[in-house]
Every structure is written in C-alpha cells, then in structure tokens.
Amino acid sequence: MAVEILHLSSVVKSALVDRDGDRLGRVEDLIARLGFAPHPPVTGLVVRIAHRQLFVPISIVSDLRPGRVQFLGDTVSLRRFERRPGEMLLSKDLRARHLINLQGARLIRANEIELARRDGRWEVVAVDPSPRVALRRLLPRGLGRRIPAGKVVDWASIEPFVAHVPSARLRIPYRKLARLHPAQIADLVEAASHEEGEEIIEAVGQDRELEADVFEELDAEHQIEFVRSRTDAEAARLLATMAPDDAADLITELDQERRLPLLGLLPAPQQRKIRALLSYNPETAGGLMSPDFLCLPGSTPVGDVLEAVRASSAPPEALAVVFARGAEGRVTGSASVVSLVQASPTATLGSVVRPNPAHVHPDWDLHAVTRKMTDFNLTVAPVMDDQHRMVGVVTVDDVLEMLIPTGWRREFGMTSVEE
C-alpha cells in the first residue's frame, strides 16, 4: 500500500472548511510534537478565523490535502492557540531554517517538510533541502505541485535547533551528537550561526570530555568567540579538560588581561605544563609538542609497559610509541605499541626498542620537524633537549593541522550548508 505524502507548503495557507464544504478560514501552520519517536506526530493545526488564531486538533480533521483542509463538525472551538512543551510549528519554527543532518554530519536547510499518513495518523517523515522546492511557495498552487521533490532526508536522521523556541522546552539530545566524531561536531559549529553553535556546545557540554574534544577541533576564531562569552570560571573548567598543548594554543589567542586569571584557576599540574609550553614559539617543535607521553626505564618488563599504556592519560596518538630511558634519564630507544604487543610479556622494554630514535629539538621550526618526520616515517617524534632527555612529543596530526591552510574545511565544502 502506497504511503500518502504531503508537502507542508501545499497545506499552509489552505482553506479551512466545515463538513459541508463551507469556508471558515485558512490554515496558518501545522503542529508536531517532538520527542523520542523517529517521526514526530502531527497533533493539530493553527488556523485563522475572523482575525483570531485558533487551535484545531488533528483528531477532528477529516481531510488534509493541498489547498483544502476539512474538519468534522460545523463550528470550531474559539480556544486560542497556545504552544505546549515539546511542540514545534512546522512552518514557523522549522521551514527555511537550519537543521542538523546527523547521517551526514552536515547542516541542511529545511526548504520543504514532507508529511505522511501512517496507521491513521499524520507524521513528519522527511526534509527536502533542495532549493528548487522553494518555487512551490512562489508559483500558483497548481503549478507548484508539479515541482518534483529533491533528494529528501529521513527525519529520523534530523535534529532541529530549538533554542529560538524557548516555550518548546527542548534541547538537542547529547546522545545523538555523541555518535559523531568531535571533528564532525566542530564542523557543524563552524557552519552554524553563533546561536546555533552555542546550542550544539551546550548539548555536548553534558559530557565534559566530549566538550573539550570538540573545542580542540574548532578553529581559533570560534574558540575565542565561545570563550569570550564565558566567565573565567567557566572558561577555566573547559581549559582544564583540554590537552595541555591545545589549552596553551587557546590561551595565546585570548586577550592579555584574561590569560593570567585563567591560568591561575587551573589545577597546578595543568598550569605547569601550559606555562612550559607558552615559553616556546607556537610554530616550533616546542610549541607543537604535547608534554604527555610514556618514557619508562629500559629494564621494565613488556607486560608492565602495556599495563602502563592502559593506565596512561596521555592522548592515544602519543601512546602509539613508548620510549625507553637509561640511568641518567636519557632516551635510549623507542618501540611501537604493535611491537610491544607482539613481544613476550617477560622481555624488557630495552630489548624491544629500536636504539637511537630519530628526534627533534624544541627550537626546530615546522619545516625542519616535517622533514625529519617524513624522512623517518614518524607518526610520533620525540622532542629532546640538549642532554637527550625527552620534553614532549610531536604527533603527525599536529603537524598536518599546521600545514593545512586556514579555513580549508570551509573552502572545500566540509562545513558548508547542504542544500
């Protein structure tokens, strides 16, 4: 059995008639209740009769079709429309606004909203972001219906912005966004307006770790924009959950008068790491490096080394390589986690490592670091001081981020709005 599909634009401004077919007014909007259902049910209509905006429940609508809506009865209740929690006006609140397409991790514009009648009730089933459907609202109704639909997006993959509708009492569900990669969420924030971006950040803020990961992926412009709108305490809480190198990068972009107060609010261990990183030029190995890594005595059994990897709070990319040190703290070699997994648990770290690992120094510029990592196929480069002691690691993702031109995501359509 074919499912009956209805375009929202073909219903809005339609005539409202009684069961005898006499015109009483016109339809101004349709109401849907958002919640946990993949396809929100239509609960009623907002109609205008004699200059009054009234509510008509969908239960008494007998016929819903383009240009004509008929209800059961001879009169309409004069109860004025008042939005209830969880309700959205499909035309006013959603149409022509940005929505989040979770399936593609992109913003789309709801140029048309598709309705379907299933099991005796009307539901919101899809969104059509195609620009051509806007012609339906410009052309006469008969011609507008001939405009073919574009590639629609199932509503089950859609999440609307609702901060502009305070009475809806809804927010973007954190659990839906949490299925995306932090970089994808950051792309959404960068493509959105400031208010929409704040709504996304508020949603992921329910998970402090995810919020920090998203902030680390944002470009400097958006990081500053959101930090400026927060108090020192709120900003410090966020910085405390970020990786030290990313937190240091953000602090250098802030106004001078905010840097010291924010640093002073951070936990002492985090403060020490960030202050050390701030002493380096941002475009040198010292400015790029992370101070979190794993460097253990060469006599450590491999089984204990792997246990240390499991327990470490260092970034996963930095833990791809474990370093061995000698009696004076000097680095004697490096071993990939793969080689450690393949080795006997009773073997020592010193017997597994490759001696004299290729390394960089804190004052090396980006080009020197890139050449060294390329020549030796390094995904993790140890940063060593003049005494051959490790002070940090530079990972390949940090180098790539510096090499890629500013704004590349937007230039190549990564964060553009999908039409």
Query: What pLDDT was estimated at residue 163?
Result: 82
The angle formed by the CA atoms of residues 388, 392 and 395, to the nearest 5 degrees, is: 120
Q: Is residue 205 part of a domain?
A: yes
- Domain end (from 221, 256, 280): 280
Mean pLDDT of the chain: 87
Query: What pLDDT was estimated at residue 267?
Result: 93
Mean local confidence (pLDDT), 327-345: 94
Residues 243 and 306 placed together within one structural domain of the fold: no
Q: Is residue 45 part of a domain?
A: yes
> Into how many domains does the chain fold?
3
- Domain end (from 160, 183, 213): 160
**Is residue 358 a contact partner of residue 380, using CB atoms and an 8 Å limit?**
no
Q: Highest mean pLDDT range out of 8-12, 190-194, 291-295?
A: 291-295
- Domain end (from 109, 140, 160): 160
Residues 16 and 143 placed together within one structural domain of the fold: yes
Mapping DSSP onto H, E and C, the string for the chain reads CCCEEEEHHHHCCCEEECCCCCEEEEEEEEEEECCCCCCCEEEEEEEEECCEEEEEEHHHEEEEECCEEEECCCCCCCCECCCCCCEEEHHHHHCCCEEEECCCCEEEECCEEEEEEECCEEEEEEEECCHHHHHHHHCCHHHHCCCCCCCCEEHHHEEECCCCCHHHCCCCCHHHHCCCCHHHHHHHHHHCCHHHHHHHHHHHCCCHHHHHHHHHHCCHHHHHHHHHCCCHHHHHHHHHHCCHHHHHHHHHHCCHHHHHHHHHCCCHHHHHHHHHHHCCCCCEHHHHCECCCCEEECCCEHHHHHHHHHHCCCCCCHHHEEEEECCCCCEEEEEEHHHHHHCCCCCEHHHHCEECCCCECCCCEHHHHHHHHHHCCCCEEEEECCCCCEEEEEEHHHHHHHHCCCCHHHHCCCCCCEC
Compute the distance between CA of residue 373 and CA of residue 377 in angstroms, rounded to an integer.
6
Residues 143 and 200 placed together within one structural domain of the fold: no
Q: What is the CATH number of the domain that holds 312?
A: 3.10.580.10
Q: Which domain holds residue 56?
A: 4-160
Compute the distance between CA of residue 197 and CA of residue 180 in angstroms, rounded to an integer.
15
pLDDT > 90: percent of the chain = 51
Q: What is the CATH number of the domain that holds 234?
A: 1.25.60.10
Q: Is residue 416 part of a domain?
A: no
Compute the distance between CA of residue 245 and CA of residue 274 in angstroms, rounded to an integer.
7
Q: Which long-range contacts (CB under 8 A, 24 or more apart) does 265-273 make?
A: 265/232, 265/233, 265/236, 266/236, 266/239, 266/240, 267/240, 270/239, 270/240, 270/244, 273/244, 273/248
Query: What pLDDT was estimated at residue 412?
Result: 47
| Res. 78 pLDDT band, cuts 50 70 90 | low
Residues 246 and 128 placed together within one structural domain of the fold: no
Residues 76 and 147 placed together within one structural domain of the fold: yes
Q: Is residue 208 part of a domain?
A: yes
**Is residue 153 a contact partner of residue 161, using CB atoms and an 8 Å limit?**
no
Q: Is residue 419 part of a domain?
A: no
Q: Is residue 359 part of a domain?
A: yes
Residues 98 and 180 placed together within one structural domain of the fold: no
Compute the distance between CA of residue 10 and CA of residue 141 in angstroms, rounded to an integer.
7
| Res. 80 pLDDT band, cuts 50 70 90 | confident
Q: Is residue 290 part of a domain?
A: no
Residues 31 and 153 placed together within one structural domain of the fold: yes
Condensed to tens digits (0 to 9), the pLDDT of residues 108-130 reads 999 999 999 988 889 999 999 98
Condensed to tens digits (0 to 9), the pLDDT of residues 150-159 reads 688 999 999 9
Residues 253 and 306 placed together within one structural domain of the fold: no
Residues 67 and 87 placed together within one structural domain of the fold: yes
Residues 32 and 144 placed together within one structural domain of the fold: yes
* 32 residue type, one letter: A
**Is residue 345 pLDDT above 70, yes or no?**
yes
Q: Which of 26-40, 78-92, 201-215, 289-303 has the lowest mean pLDDT?
A: 78-92
* 389 residue type, one letter: R
Residues 199 and 151 placed together within one structural domain of the fold: no
The angle formed by the CA atoms of residues 204, 272 and 210, to the nearest 5 degrees, is: 10
- Point out which residues pair with 122 in neighbouring strands: 117
Q: Is residue 166 part of a domain?
A: no
Residues 153 and 192 placed together within one structural domain of the fold: no
